[in-house]
């Protein structure tokens, strides 16, 4: 058994020789020095900030093999391929391999022939694997996507909990935990769960100033999306640019891609249900051709290193701010102006609340999901700067940015107490007088005095609130209800999303609380605003 020798004497030498770069970026040099000297580090750096070098270079400077824990097999393959092309002796161990392939990697590790070894977290939690690693020399442990260890985070993976043991087994081996998404709470959890109390913490700015954030109320989402793609989908010379459209379901990725394609956009669907060959070809085309727009579930984008994605659109509400930040972060990795756009509506809120109610797991789990959704809704409904809200969520105070929709076209806040009371009293009357609960659509029909079969059948045209909201359009009502839900004044129930008034909502009804609402345009058009780089 032998230890892989140190390959370079200095970090700069490794940077120039292996990676061909001139200089370190941001805090890379400090992080590398900390780990190469045997210290621990916690690194919070946005996507494409350059996290990989922070463990790859120390692995080349230290004796032994750098062990990289990474949950994404596809990403592992890409990184190892890229390293090998640069002359680094890298390999991986994961479930996609045949046993003879694994045996060869294991032999190379023990013979000291590997600079870097990538391992899936579930392997590293197995006792035989740990014993095997102990036979060789570990230069360092890098724990990528470290937010996965946080049970209160948005992407918890139980396999990560076993990583807490590394410090006991290898007390002298430095560890570096890295993530691109961490709230203050997640940051604390990473530190305690991975026993990194003595580590140095490197927290880079999460701001991506070249990205313009826009969030619009959903009305006719396909039309809105097409308008957005038409305004953002070509560069100054008129050449089509690359973009990603995220949708929640596989079926809707196909429908939307079809719709865009019919309208002259070079759009392709991508989701886990498609044949592996088709997915590979789509990825290839996205990387190599001009102007390919991929309409995908969130499976798409992890580990795809395409710097010039010019826009990211969401046609469904993301489940958390972390997810939104990660997905929008795939735009503009080259630092040039890029735009992100999200459309969301009442139905998104109802649907996601229902998914949370129905999700398996205990109450604490559902509370966590609900708090993630609430933070996302707060970002959507804010009348202040989007970026300020986003960065504050990651614990970073900032000024209004001038490059988001609320900065460029400040929304008007209105007193919505009266319409809120009208809506809520309709709910309460139906509950008290008739023991009935309804979803938003029927309640809006009643308020607008719309004669529908159901209104006739139940005699709802005799309610005291019948027709008292006819001055407000149906779409505006939906916007109001969405905001009341987002503010926690209404709650939804069951499969049909029937509505009730919460305790806080009752304060509005009784006149002890007022409601401020964002005024919404009749149909939100995507207007092109100035973009700062």
- Chain residues binding Zn ion by CB under 5 A are 385, 387, 401, 404, 407
Contact yes or no for 117/90 (Cβ under 8 A): yes
Across the strands, what pairs with 43? 178, 202
HSE (side-chain half, CA atoms, 13 Å) at 386 = 29
CB of 48 or CB of 502, closer to ligand ADP: 48
Interface pick for ligand ADP out of 7, 51, 271, 353 (rule CB under 6 A): 51
Q: Which residue has the tokens 């009208």?
A: 422
Q: Are strands 211-217 and 65-69 parallel, antiparallel or unpaired?
A: unpaired
User: How far is it, in rounded angstroms, from Cα 16 to Cα 12?
Assistant: 6
Q: Is 48 in the site for ligand ADP (CB under 6 A)?
A: yes
Edge-to-edge strands, sheet with 200-203: 90-93, 116-119, 65-69, 138-143, 175-179, 41-44, 200-203
Q: Is 137 in the site for ligand ADP (CB under 6 A)?
A: no
Q: Which range, of 43-51, 184-192, 195-203, 294-302, touches ligand ADP by CB under 6 A?
A: 43-51
Helix, strand, coil in percent for the chain, rounding step 5: 45, 15, 40
Q: Is 118 in the site for ligand ADP (CB under 6 A)?
A: no
Residue 310, phi then psi, degrees to nearest 5: -90, -20
Query: What does 404 interact with, of Zn ion, ligand ADP, none (CB < 5 to 8 A by kind)?
Result: Zn ion
Q: How far is the CB of 425 from ligand ADP (least distance, A)?
A: 51
Q: Which range, of 46-54, 58-66, 151-159, 500-508, touches ligand ADP by CB under 6 A?
A: 46-54
Q: Is 43 in the site for ligand ADP (CB under 6 A)?
A: no
CB of 145 or CB of 445, closer to ligand ADP: 145
Q: Is 52 in the site for ligand ADP (CB under 6 A)?
A: yes
CB of 185 or CB of 412, closer to Zn ion: 412
Q: Is 81 in the site for ligand ADP (CB under 6 A)?
A: no
Q: Which residue has the tokens 């003595």?
A: 198
Q: How far is the CB of 42 from ligand ADP (least distance, A)?
A: 14
DSSP 234: B
Q: Which range, of 49-57, 115-123, 224-232, 256-264, touches ligand ADP by CB under 6 A?
A: 49-57
Query: What does 440 interact with, of ligand ADP, Zn ion, none (CB < 5 to 8 A by kind)?
Result: none
User: How far is it, in rounded angstroms, from Cα 245 to Cα 252?
Assistant: 11
In total, the chain counts a number of residues equal to 533
CB of 45 or CB of 385, closer to ligand ADP: 45
Q: Where are the alpha helices (DSSP H) in 148-214?
A: 166-169, 184-193
Chain positions contacting ligand ADP, by CB under 6 A: 21, 24-25, 28, 45, 47-53, 305
């Amino acid at each position: 058994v032998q230890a892989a020798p140190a390959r370079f004497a200095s970090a700069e030498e490794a940077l120039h020789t292996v990676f061909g770069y001139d200089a370190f970026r941001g805090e890379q040099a400090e992080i590398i020095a900390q780990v190469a000297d045997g210290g621990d580090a916690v690194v919070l750096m946005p996507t494409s900030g350059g996290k990989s070098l922070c463990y790859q270079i120390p692995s080349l400077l230290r004796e032994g093999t750098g062990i990289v824990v990474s949950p994404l097999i596809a990403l592992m393959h890409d990184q190892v391929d890229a390293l090998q092309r640069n002359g680094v002796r890298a390999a991986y161990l994961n479930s996609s391999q045949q046993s003879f392939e694994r045996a060869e990697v294991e032999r190379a590790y023990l013979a000291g022939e590997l600079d870097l070894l990538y391992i899936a977290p579930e392997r590293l939690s197995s006792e035989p694997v740990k014993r095997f690693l102990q036979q060789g020399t570990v230069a360092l442990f890098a724990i990528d996507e470290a937010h996965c260890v946080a049970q209160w985070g948005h992407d918890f993976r139980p396999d990560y909990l076993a990583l807490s043991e590394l410090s006991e087994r290898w007390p002298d081996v430095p560890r570096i935990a890295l993530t691109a998404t961490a709230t203050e709470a997640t940051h604390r959890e990473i530190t305690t769960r991975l026993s990194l109390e003595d580590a140095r913490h490197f927290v880079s700015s999460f701001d991506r100033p070249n990205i313009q954030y826009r969030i619009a109320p959903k009305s006719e989402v396909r039309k809105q999306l097409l308008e957005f793609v038409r305004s953002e989908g070509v560069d100054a010379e008129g050449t089509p640019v690359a973009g990603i459209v995220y949708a929640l379901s596989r079926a809707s990725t196909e429908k939307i891609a079809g719709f865009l394609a019919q309208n002259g956009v070079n759009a392709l669907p991508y989701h886990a249900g498609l044949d592996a060959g088709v997915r590979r070809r789509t990825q290839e085309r996205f990387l190599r051709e001009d102007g390919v727009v991929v309409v995908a579930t969130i499976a798409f984008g992890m580990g795809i290193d395409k710097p010039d994605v010019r826009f990211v659109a969401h046609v469904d509400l993301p489940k958390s701010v972390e997810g939104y930040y990660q997905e929008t972060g795939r735009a503009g990795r080259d630092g040039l102006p890029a735009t992100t756009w999200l459309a969301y509506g009442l139905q998104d809120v109802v649907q996601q609340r229902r998914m949370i109610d129905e999700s398996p797991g205990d109450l604490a789990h559902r509370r966590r999901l609900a708090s993630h959704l609430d933070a996302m809704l707060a970002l959507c409904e804010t009348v202040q700067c989007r970026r300020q809200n986003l960065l504050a969520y990651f614990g970073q105070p900032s000024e209004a940015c001038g490059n988001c929709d609320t900065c460029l076209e400040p929304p008007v806040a209105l007193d919505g107490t009266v319409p809120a009371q009208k809506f809520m009293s309709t709910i309460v009357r139906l509950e008290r007088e008739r023991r009935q609960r309804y979803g938003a659509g029927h309640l809006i029909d009643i308020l607008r005095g719309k004669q529908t079969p159901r209104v006739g059948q139940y005699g709802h045209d005799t309610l005291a609130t019948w027709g008292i909201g006819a001055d407000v359009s149906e779409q505006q009502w939906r916007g109001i209800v969405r905001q009341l839900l987002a503010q926690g004044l209404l709650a939804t129930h069951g499969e049909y999303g029937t509505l009730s008034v919460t305790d806080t909502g009752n304060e509005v009804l009784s006149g002890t609380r007022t409601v401020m609402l964002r005024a919404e345009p009749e149909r939100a058009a995507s207007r092109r605003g100035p973009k700062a780089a």
